Structure 1
Amino acid sequence: MEEAALLIDPEEIAALYRELCQFPSLSSACIGPEVTTQYGGKYCNIYTEWSQRDLERAENVKFCRQYLIFHDSQSIVFSSPSGNCTEIKGELLSRDSPSGAQKAVLRKITNSKGEEKQFLEVWEKSRKVKSIELTALEKHGQVYEDDQFGCLAWSHSETHLLYVAEKKRPKAESFFKPKAPELSNEEELTKAERRDKAVKGEQFVFYEDWGETLVSKSVPVLCVLDIESNNVSVLEGVPDHISPGQAFWTPGDTGVVFTGWWHEPFRLGLRHCTQRRSALFYVDLTGGRCELLTGDTKAIWSPRLSPDQCRIVYLENQASGPHQQCSRLCMYDWYTKLTSVIVDVVPRQSQGEFTGIYSTTLPERCWAADSQRVVLDTAQRSRQELIVIDTLSGSVCSLTKGCPLGSWAILTVDRDLLVARFSTPNCPPKLMVAFLPPAGKETEINWVCLEEASPIQGITWDVRTFQPPPEQINPQYEGLDFEAILLRPTQIPQTGKIPLVVTPHGGPHSVFTTSWTLYPAVLCRMGFAVLLVNYRGSLGFGQDCVDCLPGNVGSQDVKDVQVCVQNVLEEDPLNPQRVALLGGSHGGFLSCHLIGQYPETYKACVVRNPVVNIASMVGSTDIPDWCLTEAGLEYDQAALPDPAQWTKMLLHSPMQYVDKVQAPVLLMIGEDDRRVPPKQGLEYYHALKARGVPARMLWYPGNNHALSGVEAESDGFMNIALWLIKHLK
């Protein structure tokens, strides 16, 4: 039988990858002050930041582009880009002041000696008015620029800046360092002003960090810069057992509200873990008094103050269980001190209805101008949608329901002007804007595209829904379905059958949405069909879907993927003799399970930082709780697993099926992975080699769990493509 044409020439594949990897991703946006013209018309400026891979420089390049919007406060009259793109150098954080008159920038500079220095700059109109070298002040360590702890917040009076930095550590020196010569009193005083006295024997003290992507973050402190005097002070009063972050100024600038994470008895990985115990705190600037604003038994994050400075909304989860869950939207009233749940956890989706909130963060600006409604994006089954929530009634309305199929993300909301990103599996991100209609009329929203992107020719896609067969229904959670997104080449010869690459997502509590992703798009353009599987346990389908998987990993999720594969092989023009697996993290865990449990189905396998042995991972990962929770066990920081628990973790792992593996396996490992330690991949590689199964391992220095370095990502793709071509002949 004639096969569908497949791109196999390495140079042509590299050219295709280069073409598709140049589409930039849209990362952030902010809206400038409103200007009224002499004719009564109004306009504002929208500033956007994008990121693009530069293969030659082997780095992600950040650039900005601005747009002019003429409007009447209800609809957009005219919009246009304002000039070309400009690359942004060294910016770690930037924030406009509340009035829009000033802009603060945290910048990283590497000097001629190769030393990294951090500067806090203030810009006004057409000039830089302040540039303060924070490194030289020695009040604290590196400033946090991450989205977990980091912030750069203007006081309402625009006289102070609030940020988070690493606590200053004592200088350390050897016990055997020679004593410095005696100095005169004047020299001694100058020296004392210049540096603190070094402590002997503290050189090698271990500082615990917050794990994957937060390896340099250990003890965060809240810092305030007085813009007038250039003075930096570190806020007192934060309890020693709390790590503060995500901070902002209270009404009247009398204090600071922040999210605080418990770090005793020891820190656990925080990235993608929205169930770590945390709470909202208030610290008074005058007395240094710190008080708890919310309960202290939950996980709380993303606090956002309303424009009228009366209410704070935030997200809340249980402080245990799966790392990502269906969240509550809660609200704290600054004046009544009352806390309320605005949107509760949704256990199960009603027909076509709202499935709950699944967001790792709220937009920095998410409030409508009425200080009553909040806009956010969330997975709703396999689609990312924008929703508006009325905090008085708790009603939820979709802002994207009637729009073309695809996925949306909100970038900012300011004076009811919404800036959003829209993409599909075959269309790179577009920049969209709209005015939020009045309460009750949200469905009348009218989106305008500011930056167009054309669909990629040759790719077709759709979303498939599946029911588990009767014998695979979870008796505690009956009636759950699941989905997969299938990308297929448009051109199919009448007699041709397309090779299939099956990709289960990681997590396991995450989700593939109908958005632009590089690897599936390039594989599809090469001639592969790609199946992105949202097995039971995925986000966006109700909390019951999340809860049904712990204790059943390695069986229920594996069978769900296999059901999807068997269905599409029967229904679509796909070649059952040319099926491969590609998965990372828990997706790699599932891929290794599938080649062991269904060795006849899969002819090749590629795994990126896979979990292969939960029992051996528990002692070396930054998330040991994951190992027990997903195996259906209780996690206790003070308890060691007993022999029965070790056994259970091993029996949920793909390592137990390694004797049955026939498919050649390519392993891609990040040397600096703290989430799934590199030894996991090495353990599987050795087991395959010992059994004569073809195996190859790629080892990427300087890369963590995501393997998202530009060089690792591009080299990784080429190796994946050539491995699939070689073993799907």
Structure 2
Amino acid sequence: MSFLQYSGSSRYYKELVELPIPTSADFISSMIRVSYSIRDHERNAKRTITKTFTLSRPELASVDFEPTLTSTTAQVSSEVQAFTASLSEKRQAILREVSDSNGGKKRYVEVWANSHLEASLEVTKRHGQFHTDEFFKSFSFSPSETALVYTAEANPETVEELDDDPYPKFRFTPHFGETLYTRKRPTLFVFRWRPSGDAKNITRVAKRDLSLTSLSLEQPPSIPVVFGQATFVTETRLYATGYEQTADGKILGVKGCFNKPSSLWELALPDEDLETGLTTECTSVKVNMPGRSSRSPRVLFDTDGTAIALFWLSNPTGGAHASTVSLHSRDLKGESGDRIVVDAVSDPGSNQFPGLYTEYNLANSPFIRYSGETYVFAQSLWRSRPTLISMRAESGSVIDETPLSEGQSLYSWNLLGTDGWGSVVCSRSTPTSPPEVVLLTLKRDGFFGAPRVLDNPLLSSEVQEALDGLSASIIPIPNRHPIETIVIKSKEPVEGYKPICLTIPHGGPHAASTTAFTPSVVAYALEGYTVSLPNYTGSMGFGEKYIQELCGQCGTLDVADCISTVEELIKLGISERQRQVLLGGSHGGFLTAHLIGQYPDIFSAAVMRNPVISAGELCGSDITDWPYAEFGLPFGPGTHVTPDSFAKLYTASPIAYIDKVTTPVLLLIGEDDLRVPPTQGKGYYHALKGRGKTVEMLMFPKETHPIDGVEAARISFEAGRDWFRAFTQKES
């Protein structure tokens, strides 16, 4: 008999998940172009739309003003792979991929000047897919706006090119892991054109005045390096991120990891004239930062297009897969050298800056220049809350631009873009309110005025009323500094049994649960659960000391922190014993499995998504370094599991507690997961099944580690809801 019985679609989940999520913003003249991601259940697809907000403002930045805004909405064609505007905003570029009549794809690079197509080139035969992910995407105009650099997959060598040598076709080429397995030959391409006519009489550039060349190194380094994230500095100089193989020929997965071998490189092209060959050899100089993993180069230009400074992010190489970020700069005028603008913070005091915890990259345009000063803007975790910060380029001083005041909503901030001189577009949300787009504008005193809401999500009255009935708070856990948990619960007074408490430990472990709106989480709260989102030791946003403190103590310290949040909520009367369930994915699944093994009498049901069950058996993971770093073992080229290391990893893993498990378990497994191989969940399923325990498993074809496909995510939510109902209804 199956305990997992479908009870129908959720009243709330679908509407919440289909709300538009703002992803980026571009300032183009007097317009703000905001992009949104949307999940479409009818088409079972993710889509993109844009809204363009037109604003009026005075010529001088020193004048306070209230912009007048109008907006239009457009569907973004699925053909458009990437879009960028030039520094002058006079040109826009598009990478376009079009389906042909034979079921294949045709690819084009286009340059538009106002509404005129100035240059276009079909590049289908020159390379494979465009790479527009956050790790490899390059899409930058040169200062003269007569060249573009972008990243695409190089075509494999053909048998004809290799004098009938068949071996290259089958020779092993490592890829970049989870969700990036198609990235085997990322290559930089430079597209150049000679504009004809003038600004008022733009004509289409003839094909003879176009060129496309791939970039290669004149002297390749001894360890192979693959480039992405390239950006022009001058017509013949670029900076790019170079991802390196390890000495034993591995490429460790980069998704979600800030510690993999990567460096910044300066690339020099031989000449800015049109190239006649298919490949351009460039000289290269590595930005030497031993022991650091660097990425995300961003160039600050003067108003005349002269490069002033380079900024980038770095983390320690090896060790914890995500740690406190450092911001670096290089003076491109040659007046001073490289320096650290913002360094790691070890153990911040109460309410002090905890260090920089950004996304993988800086925003495409992170700069504001005001009153002779340059500021770098970013979103960064400040304990459990993402906030907007500015970092003064000269002094490195950090300002929380959106601080949390007493009695205010727990706003989580996400930077979308800046105009470079006084305006910033962000999205903000709370645990119980979906993202809205806001405009922040500097006043003459150098402080931002009140946020101007540009766009609000549209909710049905039923869902809005339900959300209004929820409250959210951050609860510190006594005697376990700096541990805290975010709690979402009903405002209604409780009579009789308290609601079932659902604890959701985050993955990573070096990630964080935040006060951002998460549709699947709030949907559980609307189903009647009290939801607890603990940030245990090792979570980002609390200081480097606490990230390092977890390494070597996974399976003990993080588990103790999570059970302490359960006990504290019981003590506070927010929840009660025997009314506890668990949900976790990846390292959150690892913690869920540990909690039901170490505390078998507390939890009524558990759901795990792609959990780590036996750390010693992660040889098939794209990040084989992970168990060594997180469980306190040395790792280097050629490292493999030994009897001694396996014994330590086994003892620290949930599999060691398999015989103590009594809690019913539902497993959700992505068949194409390269981060935590499906064998982990399958092995746990069979181990529980063989011991007569209550366990079921859903397998999702073509789903990777997050299981975030539109249909798969919905089914995962509904299955978790129905699993909890099956084992808690008798207690309600």
Q: TM-score, normalised by structure 1?
A: 0.89
Q: 2:291 aligns with which of 280, 293, 297?
A: 297
Which residue is 2:696 aligned to? 696
Name 1:191's counterpart in structure 2. Answer: none
Structure 1 residues 81, 688: CA separation in 2 closer, same or farther (over 3 Å shift)? farther
Partner of 2:129: 142
1:390 aligns to what? 392
Q: Which residue among 81, 87, 92 is the counterpart of 1:92? A: 81
Offset, 1:547:
0.5
Query: For the residues of structure 1 that align with 2:681 and 2:210, how far apart are their CA atoms?
Result: 50
Q: Who is 1:663 aligned against? A: 663
Aligned equivalents of 1:525, 1:16: Cα separation in 2: 7
CA contact (8 A) 1:607 1:666 kept: yes
Name which of 227, 232, 246 aligns with 2:229: 246
Contact 1:280 1:292 in 2 (8 A): yes
User: Residue 28 of structure 1 aligns to which amino acid in structure 2?
Assistant: S
In the alignment, the residues of structure 2 paired with residue 286 and residue 78 of structure 1 have an alpha-carbon distance, to the nearest angstrom, of: 46
For 1:586-605, list aligned pairs within 5 A: 586-605=587-606
1:631 match: 631
Indicate which of 166, 175, 186 corresponds to 1:220.
Answer: 186
Query: Which stretch has the larger CA shift, 108-117 or 275-284?
Result: 108-117
Q: How far does residue 24 in structure 1 lie from its aligned partner after superposition?
A: 1.1
Given that 2:299 and 2:308 are in contact with CA atoms closer than 8 Å, whether structure 1 keeps it comes out as yes
Residue identity opposite 1:514 in structure 2: T
Which residue type is aligned with residue 319 of structure 1? T
Q: Is the 8 A contact 2:157 2:169 kept in 1?
A: no
Structure 2 residue aligned with 1:435: 441
Note if 1:30 corresponds to 2:26: yes
In 1, Cα distance between the equivalents of 2:246 and 2:448?
A: 49
State the Cα distance separating 1:647 from its structure 2 match: 0.8
Letter in 1 for 2:226: S
On the 8 A contact 1:278/1:297 being kept in 2, the answer is no
Letter of the aligned partner of 1:390 in structure 2?
A: R
- Is 1:640 equivalent to 2:657 in the alignment? no
Any residues of structure 2 matched to 1:369-388 within 5 Å, and which?
Answer: 369-370=369-370, 372-388=374-390
Gaps of 5+ in 2: 195-208, 272-281
Tell me if structure 2 keeps the 8 A contact 1:141–1:169. Answer: no
- Does residue 59 of the first structure (1) align with residue 59 of the second (2)? no
Question: Could you give the per-residue CA deviations for residues 625-655 of structure 1, whole angstroms, max 9, x where no partner exists?
Answer: 1011111111112232332111111111000
Q: How many residues are matched? A: 674
Is residue 351 of structure 1 aligned with residue 350 of structure 2? yes
- Of 566-575 and 157-166, deviating more is 566-575
Q: Contact 1:583 / 1:590 at 8 angstroms: preserved in 2?
A: yes
CA distance 1:366–1:671, change in 2 (3 Å): same
2:32 and 2:53 in contact (8 A); partners too: yes
User: 2:620 maps to which residue?
Assistant: 620
**Cα 1:389–1:697 shift into 2, 3 Å:** same
Q: What SS class does the counterpart of residue 649 from structure 2 fall into?
A: helix
Pairwise CA distance, 1:15: 3.4
After superposition, where does 1:540-551 map in structure 2 within 5 Å? 540-551=541-552
Q: Which residue identity does 2:47 align to in structure 1?
A: V
Q: Name which of 252, 261, 267 aligns with 1:283.
A: 267
Give the Cα–Cα distance (whole angstroms) in 1 for the partners of residues 551 and 92 of structure 2.
46
Tell me how far 1:85 sits from its aligned partner: 4.0
Q: Distance in 2 between matches of 1:612 and 1:56?
A: 35
Could you list the per-position Cα deviations for residues 153-189 of structure 1 after superposition, in whole angstroms to 9, with x for gaps in the alignment?
Answer: 111111111011223321148xxxxxxxxxxxxxxxx
> Match for 1:459: what amino acid?
L
Give, in whole Å, the separation in 2 of the partners of 1:87 and 1:142: 19
Sequence identity (%): 31
2: distance between equivalents of 1:710 and 1:261? 31
The residue matched to 1:210 in structure 2 has which SS?
coil
Closer, same or farther: CA 109–488 of 1 in aligned 2, 3 Å: same
Distance 2:422 2:119 in 1: 32
Q: Tell me: CA distance 1:130–1:509, structure 2 relative to 1, closer, same or farther (3 Å).
A: same
Verify: 1:261 aligned to 2:243, yes or no: yes
User: Which residue of the partner structure matches residue 39 of structure 1?
Assistant: none
Distance, in Å, in 1 between the alignment partners of 2:97 and 2:573 is 52
- Distance in 2 separating the partners of 1:165 and 1:85: 27
- The separation in 2 between residues aligned to 1:75 and 1:119, in whole angstroms, is 43
User: 1:396–1:352: structure 2 CA closer, same or farther, 3 Å change rule?
Assistant: same
Mean Cα deviation higher: 622-631 or 568-577: 568-577
Letter in 2 for 1:222: L
Map 1:139-538 → 2, pairs under 5 A:
140-172=127-159, 199-228=165-194, 229-237=209-217, 239-240=220-221, 241-250=224-233, 252-265=234-247, 266-286=250-270, 288-308=282-302, 309-336=307-334, 338-359=337-358, 360-370=360-370, 372-402=374-404, 404=408, 405-414=410-419, 415-437=421-443, 442-453=446-457, 456-468=467-479, 480-538=481-539
Change over 3 Å in CA distance of 1:490–1:292 after alignment to 2: same
3-state SS, counterpart of residue 276 of structure 1:
coil
Matched-pair contact (CA < 8 Å) for 2:246–2:637: no
Give the conservation status (yes or no) of the 8 Å contact 1:307–1:367.
Answer: no
Report the Cα distance in structure 1 between the residues aligned to 2:269 and 2:78, rounded to whole angstroms.
Answer: 34
Question: Cα 1:598–1:256, aligned 2, differ >3 Å: closer, same or farther?
Answer: same
User: 2-side partners of 1:535 and 1:115: how far apart?
Assistant: 48
Q: Deviations over 1:204-248 (max 9, x none)?
A: 222210101211112322210113433210123263521111111
One-letter amino acid of the counterpart of residue 678, structure 1: P
On the 8 A contact 1:468/1:560 being kept in 2, the answer is no
Structure 1 residue 457: Cα displacement: 2.5
Compared CA separation, residues 419 and 444, structure 1 to 2 (3 A):
closer
- Distance across 1 between alignment mates of 2:727 and 2:544: 39
Cα separation, partners in 2 of 1:79 and 1:565, compared to 1, 3 Å = farther
Match for 1:163: what amino acid?
Answer: Y
TM-score, normalised relative to structure 2: 0.89
Contact 1:313 1:329 (C-alpha < 8 Å) held by counterparts: yes
8 Å Cα contact 1:49-1:63 kept in structure 2: yes
> What is the letter of the counterpart of residue 509 of structure 2?
P
SS in 2 for 1:716: helix
Out of 570-579 and 267-276, give the one that drifted further. Answer: 570-579
SS of structure 2 residue aligned to 1:364: coil
Measured in 2, the distance between the counterparts of 1:76 and 1:459 equals 36
1:577 aligns with 2:573: no
The alignment partner of 1:498 has SS state of: coil
Q: Distance in 2 between matches of 1:161 and 1:307?
A: 16
Moved more, 428-437 or 586-595: 428-437
Pairwise CA distance, 1:57? 0.5
Residue 330 of structure 1 deviates from its aligned partner by 1.1
Check the 8 A contact 2:440/2:448 in 1, yes or no: no
Unaligned runs of 5+ in 1: 1-7, 34-43, 174-194, 470-479
Aligned equivalent of 2:7, options 5, 10, 16: 10
Structure 1 residue aligned with 2:206: none
CA shift, 1:442, in A, is 4.9
Residue pair 1:399, 1:442 contacting (<8 A) in 2 also = no
Deviation, 1:116, is: 2.7
- What SS is found at the alignment partner of 1:576? coil
Is the 8 Å Cα contact of residues 270 and 276 (structure 1) preserved in structure 2?
yes
1:149–1:164: 8 Å Cα contact kept in structure 2?
yes
CA offset at residue 430 of structure 1?
0.6
**Are the equivalent residues in 2 in contact too, given 1:170–1:198 (CA < 8 A)?**
no
The alpha-carbon deviation at position 196 of structure 1 amounts to 8.3
CA 1:166/1:56 → structure 2, altered by over 3 Å: closer, same or farther?
Answer: same
Amino acid in structure 1 at the alignment position of 2:270 = T
3-state DSSP of counterpart to 1:624: coil
Aligned to 2:49, the other structure's residue is in SS state strand
What is the rounded CA distance, in whole Å, between the counterparts of 1:325 and 1:467 in structure 2? 25
Deviation at 1:289, TM superposition (A): 1.6
